[in-house]
Amino acid sequence: MKTYRGARTALIVGAGVAGLTTGIALARSGWRVEIAEISPAAATSGWGLCLTGPSLRALDELGLADRCLAAGYGMSGITHVDVDGVAVDEVQLPRLIGAGRPAMVGIARPELHRILHTEAERSGVVLSRGLTVTAMVQGDLVGVEMSDGSARQADLVVGADGIRSAVRGLLGFEAPIDYHGQMVWRALVPRPVWATGVHQFAGKVNTAGLVPISDSRAYVFLTENGVAPNVLPDAELAPRLQQLLEVFPGRVEEFRSLVSASESVVRRPVQTVFLNGAWNNGNCVVIGDAAHAPAPQMASGAALAVEDGLVLAQELGRHESVDAGLEAFVGRRAPRCRTLVQTSVTIADLEQAQRHHEAYPLVDACHRRMAEPV
Ligand SMILES: Cc1cc2nc3c(=O)[nH]c(=O)nc-3n(C[C@H](O)[C@H](O)[C@H](O)COP(=O)(O)OP(=O)(O)OC[C@H]3O[C@@H](n4cnc5c(N)ncnc54)[C@H](O)[C@@H]3O)c2cc1C
């Protein structure tokens, strides 16, 4: 049985955005941290992410915002384009890390993971791949059985294992995963020169957009409304996405043809989770998408995940006992995360009802709310 001596010990389950940033924040506060990640390989999935102001602010606190800006594409504006191809709204997002730096960054997922992994390892976090938890017993320490037959004794167990969290189940928490009748598409394409910010195009049925992720690349997104969460064969993805983009006028026509040569087209269901009630039990807690997974419309799931890591380390530092720290953490996080998940669902519903003009001010107001201090 593996045991830890000396410093307080944390076992984090899941090496996504939440797990890695929590590992970094705890390790810097003097914790000994191991992350057990079920996937045997580093994240290679090629789609991009838009990290909004709160993500950048939280990453800046970890000293990582500039690395993300260097690896991605910094920008500050969102252009909303109406069904007839006319730009109707230009939103400048607040620059939360200072007037001289952009409000948000588009970045390839593997780049973000590379930055977080490198920093976690530099901070002394041990990352064990191809490993998960199979059972947990609460005592003075949490006794954990691992999938390879080994065991751990830790002061703290953090479930950062995503929307289908196994830790959430082991803790006995029930949280339905809601599907919202939408599938979201992503495809990597060369960046058109005019794409210097996020562009969102309202369609008669679906919504499309473009987000730069480097000087040379951008990702196309499309939200497909009113469909079952079925899986399409890989060979059908690029032609089907092109077909769905055909009905959009104006600038979408310019990047539609680029999709056929895309190195990566993915299609995922819009699903949300919000864990009502406690997220913690004794010395165990769930964070990130395991506790609160928003619909991607607000592009803020990663922001919540990074903030979770920072706030968790802060509250554990402020409280003598781990369970008191976890209580304080959940009290601080739940209202903000609930607001974001609920707003993202409302926006998804408005999109499906073609009530885009009602969604824009809601998106704006929610970004302003998220800009408030954590
Ligand atoms: C299509 C799409 C687009 C999105 N776009 C954006 C965006 O532009 N901006 C944004 O901020 N957010 C976006 N999001 C949301 C964002 O990706 C998530 O909110 C964020 O990744 C949550 O981080 P997480 O670490 O909690 O979970 P995840 O990123 O899901 O990471 C969980 C990790 O746990 C591992 N794991 C799972 N089960 C186990 C287990 N049993 N044991 C051990 N390890 C396990 C997984 O392999 C993974 O590494 C998007 C989401 C989707 C689906």
Find how far residue 143's CA is from the centre of its chain.
Answer: 29
Closest of 145, 128, 138, 149 to residue 171, by C-alpha: 138
What pLDDT does residue 43 have? 62
Please report the atom of ligand 1 found closest to the CA of residue 211.
8
Residue 203 CA to ligand 1 center (angstroms) comes to 28
- Kindly report each contact of residues 321-325 with a partner whose C-beta sits within 8 Å and lies 24 or more positions away, as own/partner: 322/8, 322/155, 322/156, 322/283, 323/280, 323/282, 323/283
Residue 9 CA to ligand 1 center (angstroms) comes to 24
CB atoms within 10 A of CB 257: 11
Residue 247 CA to ligand 1 center (angstroms) comes to 31
Question: What's the rounded Cα separation, in Å, for the pair 224 and 276?
Answer: 28
Please report the atom of ligand 1 found closest to the CA of residue 303.
11
Residue 276 CA to ligand 1 center (angstroms) comes to 20
pLDDT tens for each residue of 337-367? 999 999 999 999 998 888 878 888 888 889 8
Are 218 and 208 in contact by the 8 Å Cβ rule? The answer is no
What pLDDT does residue 356 have? 79
Residue nearest to atom 48 of ligand 1 (CA): 16
Q: Is the pLDDT of residue 333 over 90?
A: yes
Helix 53-61, helix 356-371: angle, nearest 10 = 20
Tokens of 81: 């384009």
Mutate to test the pocket of ligand 1, among 11, 34, 49 (most ligand atoms within 8 A of CB): 49
Residue nearest to atom 4 of ligand 1 (CA): 296
Which protein residues are within 6 Å of ligand 1, measured from CB?
13-19, 36-39, 49-51, 55, 132, 160-162, 166, 184, 268, 288-289, 293, 296, 299-303, 305
Are 154 and 60 in contact by the 8 Å Cβ rule? The answer is no
Please report the atom of ligand 1 found closest to the CA of residue 300.
11
Residue 18 CA to ligand 1 center (angstroms) comes to 8
Q: How many residues does the chain have?
A: 374
What pLDDT does residue 1 have? 40
Residue 75 CA to ligand 1 center (angstroms) comes to 23
Q: Is the pLDDT of residue 336 over 70?
A: yes
3-state SS of the chain is CECCCCCCEEEEECCCHHHHHHHHHHHHCCCEEEEEECCCCCCCCCCEEEECHHHHHHHHHCCCHHHHHHHCEEECEEEEECCCCCEEEEEECCCCCCCCCCCEEEEEHHHHHHHHHHHHHHCCCEEEECCCEEEEEECCCEEEEECCCCEEEECEEEECCCCCCHHHHHCCCCCCCEEEEEEEEEEEEECCCCCCCEEEEECCCCEEEEEECCCCEEEEEEEEECCCCCCCCHHHHHHHHHHHHCCCCCHHHHHHHHHHHCCCEEEEEEEEEECCCCCEECCEEECHHHCEECCHHHCCHHHHHHHHHHHHHHHHHHCCCHHHHHHHHHHHHHHHHHHHHHHHHHHHHHHHCCCHHHHHHHHHHHHHHHHCCC
Residue 5 CA to ligand 1 center (angstroms) comes to 31
Please report the atom of ligand 1 found closest to the CA of residue 308.
26
* Domain chopping of the chain, boundaries: 9-74+102-176+272-371, 187-271
Residue 140 CA to ligand 1 center (angstroms) comes to 31
- CATH top-level class for 9-74+102-176+272-371? alpha beta
Torsion, CA 201, CA 203, CA 207, CA 210, rounded to 10: -30
Please report the atom of ligand 1 found closest to the CA of residue 39.
47
Residue 43 CA to ligand 1 center (angstroms) comes to 11
Find how far residue 64's CA is from the centre of its chain.
Answer: 16
Question: What's the rounded Cα separation, in Å, for the pair 173 and 167?
Answer: 9
Residue 289 CA to ligand 1 center (angstroms) comes to 6
pLDDT tens for each residue of 193-237? 999 999 999 888 999 999 999 999 999 999 999 999 999 999 999
pLDDT tens for each residue of 21-76? 999 999 999 999 999 999 998 765 668 999 999 999 999 999 999 999 999 999 99
Please report the atom of ligand 1 found closest to the CA of residue 36.
43
Are 9 and 156 in contact by the 8 Å Cβ rule? The answer is yes
Residue nearest to atom 15 of ligand 1 (CA): 301
pLDDT tens for each residue of 236-289? 999 999 999 999 998 999 899 899 877 789 999 999 999 999 999 999 999 999
